Each structure stands twice: as structure tokens, then as C-alpha cells.
Amino acid sequence: MWDYSDKVKEHFFSPRNAGALEGANGVGDVGSISCGDALRLMLKVDPESEVIQDASFQTFGCGSAIASSSALTEIIKGKTLDEALKVSNQDIADYLDGLPPEKMHCSVMGREALQAAVANYRGEVWSDDHEEGALVCKCFAVDAVLIEDTIRANKLTTVEEVTNYTKAGGSCAACHEGIEEILIKVLAETGVAFDPTATPAAVEVAPAQMNTLQRIRRIEQVIQAVRPQLQRDHGDIELVDVDGKTVYVNMIGACSGCQMESLTLNGIQQKLMEELGEFIRVVPTRAGSLTRAMGN
Amino acid sequence: METIYLDNNATTRVDPLVVDAMLPYFTEQFGNPSSLHSFGNRVGLALKKARMQVQALLGAAHDTEVIFTSCGTESDSTAILSALRAQPERREIITTVVEHPAILALCEHLEKEGYVIHRLKVDGKGRLDLDEYRGLLSERVAIVSVMWANNETGTYFPVKEMAELAHTAGVMFHTDAVQAVGKIPLELADSKIDMLSASGHKLHAPKGIGVLYLRRGSRFRPLLRGGHQERGRRAGTENSAAIVALGQAAEMALASMEHENTEVRRLRDKLEAGVLAQVSHAFVTGDPDNRLPNTANIAFEYIEGEAILLLLNKFGIAASSGSACTSGSLEPSHVMRAMGIPYTAAHGTVRFSLSRYTTEAEIDRVIEVVPQVVAQLRKLSPYWNDLGPVADPQQAFAPVYA
Ligand SMILES: Cc1ncc(COP(=O)(O)O)c(C=O)c1O
């Protein structure tokens, strides 16, 4: 049985705001009986202030679908429509002290019902733009449709790349066989055969042929190349250490901690991956924090 | 709170007498049965006894036809892979759409390796079309694998008749009898079944012990090669405690076969009748006239199985469901879909599986609780109003996208 939090159980066994809502002026229906879950969210909105005065739900679905619906109504009551629209599916899950990864779609459904109900109140048409496929990665709740689309859009060829782009397969690795199968299928559409030994984002440089010293030199070259640009902005960067796929750098001066830091690091990470033809993670370290960064 | 365990098709409680029988094999009887000294010899004799106890339960002609494995899944894999390796020129397998994943997932994998898998379809009651089956038997088929009784509905397949047909066509026949062994008499000696899988934990023996029945004279290729255990047909030092336990459990199952098919059946029928008399829009799935005596699978329309189980659990009642949510997949059980159970009910199926320990008082309690649970969930369902299901559920509940 699922490892539901006490909060989920509590909202399932004693759901709040269940049943039809007298005088509702915004109704959102999502899901269907054939999919196994369906949720109707009903809102009573004050036309003057757009405050949600009352909310209720009717849900066909599993324990977490009912608990998510109940939580949603509690969260949005008293909020204005604009405030309510800011509620994310993660907010619903957090309110319930978390949901098992396989059940996160219940919170997504809650958010969709909210959008649909607000659209209904405002006389707009709301359309669902995501298509749900079979769940491939259960750890991060990534489905087949998303993986296929991501492979096509980014011309991915390896499981590792799929993991980098979608998170699928990044935890327990149980779905790697499934991801390989999707890769085989999608690659076959363009007449390419899946090569399990391929290195991600294959470039001219074959990493296997580089020895450690060459590899570190190449990393240094990339870092050197971005320094002039950073120095113009009164900052700088230095290479601290390389540990497998992780490159530790020290951001100095104006760059350190600024908003641009993560953008800069992402850019450097991208350049390193292109240059080395392998997955690289760039991790900033602060003076004295190197050991901590490496200790985890 | 008294708990009521009605999930015996998932697994059973180990009988206390079975526990007693196995305990010495963890302590003083620790020898390796292959050893020549007396430590080993005593264990060897115990295994021999267990083999005969299992032989008796299966109604097999020889005790050497019993091979101990680690579980039902291993027995299934061993049977199918053996048939393929022993007859490399045969590249087809016949099975059914409602097998346990132990068979289905293996077949899917073999399909990717280039084997041709024929999956027999079932009708609304979970029954096969034997003409379709006859038409598929040919010298290209390496093995037929058809379950004896379905784990979700309990429905039997006519395996003895199908084995005769396979035999006439010169095709090997395997049956996954994990749910049937211990519940109904099998009489394998009088059949043309070549291989059969069983699993200890479905008949009050521990988990992690299984049996592959292999008819004398059948061509065989082991899955695990190594030592000469199980006459070289399954290498690996024997799980002696579990084997002794399974022997004891087999003897007890044989002794209570009569009870299973009279008293347990009566309680199961009472449960179904009692629930259906009070709950509308509910029905029994599978073939009610031709199924295991202990299994009741009831579909409750307009509500979802996991929610039913959670509420039942709150009342101390343990059952299981073929709903998508209980398994973490998006699809309801493949068995319900194969039978074409309408979408309004496929997500709301609940399996109650009894055992010889189930009492009349427990069944009375379940008959009292189930209608409350169903009513509580229907009150929450957008497809249900005070009187019954909304007129046209697809219409009345209208998401803006479809
Ligand atoms: C029909 C059927 N086959 C095979 C198995 C697998 O048996 P085991 O759990 O011993 O591997 C089961 C048990 O769930 C079953 O019901």
C-alpha cells in the first residue's frame, strides 16, 4: 500500500467541502471515468471582489485524488481568483505533507481543475495542453509522451541525455530499459540505430581518448576563455578542482552570488559539455566551502 | 480491532504447523543435503519426504517430477526458456492475454528478441475460444503456456483439454497453476500437461519457495546451471527449511481439499450474494460457474478501487483491487480490460480471496461493511447523485477538453 502522509489519510477519511455547491458560479471538470480519476471543482465567487467565498468538489478517484481535491478547496477559500491561480500543484502536495511520486498527478489534476473553474467563471475556454502517457520514470513521475517529445526536440541519443533533460531515470535506474526502448523507437523514425555505447552529445572529441591531464587542460581552456568577459564585469572565475563529472569553480568579485551567477555557470557547463563530449556539472564553491561541496 | 484477511490470492499466512515443521532446519538440521555425513543425510531424507508430499498434492506419477525452485516466477521462466532452448527451431509461443506478469513480461521480452507470441483473447467472462487455439497449434510452436486459474477472477481455463490438443499436435504444454495448487485436485498423472508452476506462499507455506513439475521424459534445459542439486535441473543449494515447509503445507492442503471446495465455497458465495443484495450497480467479474472456490471479484461502478481498499482497511478488512491506482500505473488491470469490463466499473474492481481460516463471522462483517464503504464513496463521486448514477456520465461530466 502507498506510503501516504497522515495529512493525506486525514483528508481522505474526512474530506472537507465534499459534494455539490449551491449557487456555484465557476465549475471546472477535469479527468474522466475511463482514466480512473475525475474531479469537479465548484466555486462561489463574489463578482465584486473576485474573492472565492466557497469551494467544493466531487471526485472519482483514489485516496490521494480525493485528499488533493479536499486540500485544494481549503487552500483557495478566501483567496481572490488571481491569488488562487498562483497555487501550484506543489503547493497542494506540500499542504498534504507530500504525495508519493506516482501520485503527483493527483495534485496536477487539482491545479488543472482550478484553472478550468476560473476560466469557466470568466467565460473563457481553458484547454489542457499536456497529454499523459504511460509513466516511465516512477521516481520523478515522467511519462512516455514527455520523453518522446524531448528526444525529438533535442535530438537526444543516449539514456544519460534523456536523464539530463527530463530527470527520468535519474534516481533508481529501474526505467533505463524503458528509456532505451523509447530511444530505439524514436531514433528509428529517422532511420538511426540506437547505440548503447554512444557518448552523450557526440562531438569530434572522443573523451575516452583523452587522459586526465588533457581533460583538465581542456577544462582550463574553457574557463580561461570566459574570464575576459567576466573581468569586464569586475568579476572573475577560477578552477578549483575536477572530480569525475563535477567541476568545482570559484566565482570571484561581482560575479559571486549575483543573479547572473547561475546563468554564467550554466553557460560554462554547456561549453564544457560541448568541448568534452560528456556530461559535466559545474558547482561553485566559496572560499573555505570546498570540502563541504565535495563531501556530499 | 479484529482484522479480516481476504487477500489470500496475494499471499497466505504460514500455517503454525508449517512453521513448526521448518524451524529445526534453521538450527540442528542445518546440514547440506549434498554432504555425505549424517548432518547432510538427515536433511536429504527430509527433502525426499517433502518431494513426495508435493507429488501427492499434484497427483504426479513420480516424485522426481517435482523440482524445487525459488518461486512461481522462476518456475514460469524456467519452463518457457527451457522449451525454447530445447527446440531452437521452434520460434512461437501460445499464451493468453490474462496471464500473470510472470508470463506476460517474459513473453514481451522474448517478442523483442524475435519470437512470435500468440496471445489468446478472452470473452466477457474471461473464457477462451478453443477454435482460435486449435488454429494456432503447429510445429512452429515451442510451448503453450496457459494458466490454470486466474489470480484476479479465479476463472479456470480448460488446461487438461488444451494439453491434450497440444500433445496431439506435438507441442509442449505448460500451465501456471500458482493459484490452483492446493485449492483444487489436479491429478497430473492422468493429464498431458508437461510442465506446471506452483508457489509455496499461496498455500500457507513461506514465500520464496516454488515448484516446477516436469513430466518424466520431457526435454529440459535448466535455467540455473552449477551443482547437481535437483538432479542437475536446478542448481543451487536447496532451501531446505522452505522445502520441508512446503511439503508440510502440501499435505495439509490435500487434507483440507474437501473443506476448501465445500465450506470455503459456501462462504464465498454468501459474501457475493450478501454484498450484491445491498449494493446496486455492482457485479461479479469472470465466470461465476467455473472458478476457484475461494475467489470473489466484484466490480463496483462509479467508484475507484484504491479508495475502496483504503476505507475497507480502516475497518480492518484486507482485500485487493485491479484498479490502476493501486499499482501505480495509469491503466486498470489487464485482466479487466481483456474481458471488456465497462469503463464505469473497470477501476472499481475488488478481489476478496478467502482461505480455510476464513470464518462465517468475518464474512458477515464484510457483508455489513462493504455497502457502507461503497455508499460513502459514491456520495463523493461526480458520476453519482442521491438516486443512482447520473443519467449519462460521459455527458454530465464534461471536461472542456477530451
Ligand atoms: C498466477 C500467478 N503466477 C505467478 C505468480 C508469482 O509467484 P511468485 O510470487 O512465487 O513468484 C503469482 C503470484 O502472484 C500468480 O498469482
Please report, for the domain that includes residue B246, its CATH number: 3.40.640.10
Same domain, B216 and B325: no
Cell representation of residue B160: 487438461
ipTM, two decimals, is 0.82
Runs of H (alpha helix) within B169-304: 240-255, 257-259, 265-278
**DSSP letter string, B340-401:** T--HHHHTTEEEEE--TT--HHHHHHHHHHHHHHHHHHHHH-TTB-SSSB-SSHHHHS--S-
pLDDT given for residue A275 in this prediction: 80
Catalytic site positions of B = 325
User: Around Cβ B49, how many Cβ atoms within 10 Å?
Assistant: 15
Q: Report the run of H or E that residue A6 belongs to, with start and end.
A: helix A6-13
**Tens digit of each residue's pLDDT (9 = 90 or more) over A31-78:** 877 777 889 999 999 999 999 999 999 999 989 999 999 999 999 999
The model's confidence at residue A243, banded by pLDDT at 50, 70 and 90, is: confident
Q: Given a cut of 90, is residue B378 above it in pLDDT?
A: yes
Residue nearest ligand 1's atom 15 by CA: B178
Cell representation of residue A195: 547505440
Euclidean distance between CA atoms A278 and A220, whole angstroms: 16
Nearest CA in chain B to A134: B330
pLDDT given for residue A291 in this prediction: 36
Same domain, B294 and B268: yes
- Please give the average per-residue pLDDT across A94-123, as a whole number: 88
Spell out which residues of chain B touch residue A9, defining contact as CB-CB under 8 Å. Answer: 310
- Please give the average per-residue pLDDT across B180-204, as a whole number: 97
**Which residues of chain B from 333 to 352 reach within 8 Å of chain A, CB to CB?**
343-344, 346-347
Same domain, B294 and B223: no
- Domain A212-293 CATH superfamily: Fe-S cluster assembly (FSCA) (3.30.300.130)
Q: Could you tell me which of B1, B10, B3, B2 has the C-alpha nearest to residue B350?
A: B10
Euclidean distance between CA atoms B138 and B146, whole angstroms: 16
Q: Could you tell me which of A53, A5, A65 has the C-alpha nearest to residue A26?
A: A53
pLDDT given for residue B97 in this prediction: 97
- Ligand 1 lined by B291 (C-beta under 6 Å): no
Same domain, B189 and B103: yes
CATH class of the structural domain A6-121: alpha beta
Q: Given a cut of 70, is residue B156 above it in pLDDT?
A: yes
CATH class of the structural domain A135-188: mainly alpha
The model's confidence at residue A144, banded by pLDDT at 50, 70 and 90, is: confident
Nearest CA in chain B to A37: B304
Cell representation of residue A85: 491561480
Range ranked top by mean pLDDT from A122-126, B34-38, B281-285, B382-386: B281-285
Residue B292 φ/ψ, nearest 5 degrees: -55, 145
pLDDT given for residue B399 in this prediction: 65
Residue numbers of the domain that contains B358 = 257-384
Residue B331 sits in a domain whose CATH number is 3.90.1150.10
> Positive or negative CA dihedral for A91, A92, A97, A100?
negative
Question: What percentage of chain A carries pLDDT values higher than 90?
Answer: 35
pLDDT given for residue A200 in this prediction: 65
- Please give the average per-residue pLDDT across A221-238, as a whole number: 81
pLDDT given for residue B326 in this prediction: 58
The model's confidence at residue B56, banded by pLDDT at 50, 70 and 90, is: very high
Lowest mean pLDDT, pick from A4-8, A133-137, A187-191, B188-192: A133-137
Mean pLDDT of chain B: 94
**Tens digit of each residue's pLDDT (9 = 90 or more) over B231-289:** 999 999 999 999 999 999 999 999 999 999 999 999 999 999 999 999 999 999 999 99
Q: Given a cut of 90, is residue B101 above it in pLDDT?
A: yes
CA B71 to ligand 1 center in whole angstroms: 8
Tally of structural domains, chain B: 2
User: Is position B397 within any domain?
Assistant: no
User: Is position B398 within any domain?
Assistant: no
Spell out which residues of chain A touch residue B309, defining contact as CB-CB under 8 Å. Answer: 1
* Number of helical (H) and strand (E) elements in chain B, helices listed first: 15, 13
